[in-house]
Amino acid sequence: MTRLHFPDGFLWGTATASYQIEGAWKEDGKGESIWDRFAHSEGKISGGDTGDVACDSYHRWRGDIALLREMNLGSYRFSIGWPRVQPEGSGPANPAGLDYYSRLVDDLLEAGIRPFPTLYHWDLPQALEDRGGWPERDTASRFADYAEIVGRALGDRVGTWSIFNEPGVFTLMGYAIGIHAPGRRDGDAFLRASHTVNLAQGDAFRALSSVRADARIGSAFSMTACEPAGDDEADAEAAERWHAFANTWFLEPALRGRYPDAFPGGAPLEAMGVRDGDFERMEAPLDFVGINLYVRSHVRHEEGASWGLDARAVGPPGESGPRTDFGWEVWPDALHDMVLRITRDYDTPAIEITENGCSYADAPGPDGRIRDERRIDFFRGYLAALHRAIEAGADVRAYHAWTLLDNFEWSEGYRQRFGLSWVDFASSERERTLKESGRWYAAVADANGFDT
Ligand code: FCB
C-alpha cells in the first residue's frame, strides 16, 4: 500500500454551474437566458427536462454548503448567472440577483470555504443572443461591463475568479453543432464566436483586475489528451492540430496573444472577424490555468473535416478503458498527460483542476445508502494520475470534483448523474444524500491524500 500525499495547502473542492443547479429561472428579476429558451423549446433536451427548478439551489444553498462542510472541502467553484445580475445583458445591475451571490459568498467564507466564482458557465442573457450573441463583437464589451459589476459587488471578499467555463465547448456546441444553446448550426458563426470570446476574456481580465489588483484570475478550459489514431505522420500532425483546437484555442490567445496552429493553412482570421489590435486585446496574463478534463481523444487526418482542420476525433482504439453511463471512456492517464503538457508548453503555470468526474446512475439501496463504487474507482484513478503529474513537477494547486449534486446535465437533462450527492428530483425539497463516493472524498480531503 502506498500513501499518496498532496502538497501542503492543496485545495479540495467541488464545482457546479448556475443553470445546472439553481432553478428559480424567473425569480427576483432574473432575465431569460439562452438555456431557458433552449430547454423550453420542443425536442432539445432528453425527456423534455428543463432547469426551471433543477436542484433549487437558489433557495437551498445553505444545504449545499452543509454538504461541502460534511466533505471537509476548502473550495467551492460555482458560477454566476449573468441574467440574474443583468437581466437583459446590459444596463444597471439587478440588486436581488447580486444579493443571492453575495449571501452565498458570505456563507462560504463563514464555513471556511474559498468562494471561487466563474463568470460565465453558458447562460448568456437571451436579449444579447437576440442582438447576435457571441458571434457579435459587441458581446465582448457587454461581458466586460458585467465582469466589472460583479467584481465591484464581490471583489472585496472574492480573491479567485474563473472568467469562462469551457469556451471551446459552448462556442462549438452552441454555434456549430447546435446541440447546446442557442442551437445554431453555422460554422462561420462559431468562428466569429470563438474570436469574440477571446476578446471578452482579455477585456474581463482587465475589468476584474481594475477592481482588485491582487485578484487571481484564470479560466476553466475543456481539455482532452490528444493521441494519433494511427501510426502514420499524418495522424500525428492531425492530433497536434486537434490539441491546438480543443485545448489551447482560448489559452494561447490569453498567454501569448496569438492563435495556435490548429488549421493547416493558419487561423481563418478574416472569417473570424479579426481586426487590427485584437491580438493585444485578447492577451491576458492569467494567474492560473483551469483544466476541466473528462476524456482523451484519438485523432485521424481527414481532408476537409471539422471546419477546415483536416482532422477528426474518432472513438478510442481496441485497448480502451471502461465506459461511464454517459459512454465516456475512463482513462486516468489523460489527466496526467494533459497536466504535464500544459506544464511543459507554458513554463509551469499554476494549475487548478476545475472539473473532473463521471456519470453513474447508482441509486439509493433499501437502507438509503448509495453505493457508487465505480465513482470511487474513477476518482482513485484520476487522482493517482494527478499525483504522478505533481511528482513530475506540475504546479497543481487544487482539484474540483464535478460535481456536488446530481443536476441538469445540459442536453441530457437529469438522466446523467455526476453528483457526489444524490438528489431526489421527485421530492419538492430536492432532498440531497451524500453518496459513498462523497464519504470517500471527504476522507481524502481530510487527510490531503489517500492510500492506493
Ligand atoms: C463539462 C461542463 C459541466 C458538466 C460536465 C459533465 O463539460 O463544464 O457543466 O456538464 O461537463
Measured from the CB, is residue 410 less than 6 Å from ligand 1? yes
Strand partners, 14: 76, 401
pLDDT digits (tens, 9 = 90+) for 131-167: 999 999 999 999 999 999 999 999 999 999 999 999 9
Q: Which residues contact 273 (CB under 8 A, 6 or more apart)?
A: 137, 191, 192, 195, 196
Domains of the chain listed by start with CATH number: 3-451 (3.20.20.80)
pLDDT digits (tens, 9 = 90+) for 199-217: 999 999 999 999 999 999 9
Q: How far is the CA of 168 from the centre of ligand 1 (A)?
A: 12
Contact predicate 217/209, CB 8 Å: yes
pLDDT digits (tens, 9 = 90+) for 347-398: 999 999 999 999 999 999 999 999 999 999 999 999 999 999 999 999 999 9
What pLDDT is recorded for position 1?
85
Contact predicate 226/239, CB 8 Å: yes
Is 355 labeled as catalytic in the residue annotation? Answer: yes
Measured from the CB, is residue 402 less than 6 Å from ligand 1? yes
- The pTM of the full predicted model, rounded to 2 decimals, is 0.98
Contact predicate 35/51, CB 8 Å: yes
pLDDT digits (tens, 9 = 90+) for 248-283: 999 999 999 999 999 999 999 999 999 999 999 999
- Cβ-count burial of 397 within 10 angstroms (0-12 exposed, 13-18 middle, 19+ buried)? middle
- pLDDT at 181 > cutoff 90: yes
Q: How far apart, in whole angstroms, are the C-alpha atoms of residue 99 and residue 135?
A: 31
Which of the following is catalytic: 227, 283, 329, 355? 355
pLDDT band for 34, please (50, 70, 90 cuts).
very high
What pLDDT is recorded for position 42?
98
Q: How many H-runs (helices) and E-runs (strands) does the chain carry?
A: 17, 13
High-pLDDT (> 70) share of the chain, %: 100
pLDDT digits (tens, 9 = 90+) for 82-108: 999 999 999 999 999 999 999 999 999
pLDDT digits (tens, 9 = 90+) for 392-447: 999 999 999 999 999 999 999 999 999 999 999 999 999 999 999 999 999 999 99
Residue closest by Cα to atom 10 of ligand 1:
409
High-pLDDT (> 90) share of the chain, %: 98
What pLDDT is recorded for position 31?
98
Three-class SS of residue 206?
A: helix
pLDDT band for 318, please (50, 70, 90 cuts).
confident
Pocket test for ligand 1, best of 292, 297, 358, 359 (most atoms within 8 A of CB): 292
Measured from the CB, is residue 165 less than 6 Å from ligand 1? yes
Distances from the Cα of 215 to the Cα of 206, 211, 218, 322, 350, angstroms? 11, 9, 10, 40, 14
Which of the following is catalytic: 32, 148, 166, 252? 166
pLDDT band for 54, please (50, 70, 90 cuts).
very high
Q: How far apart, in whole angstroms, are the C-alpha atoms of residue 106 and residue 126?
A: 29
Is 319 labeled as catalytic in the residue annotation? Answer: no
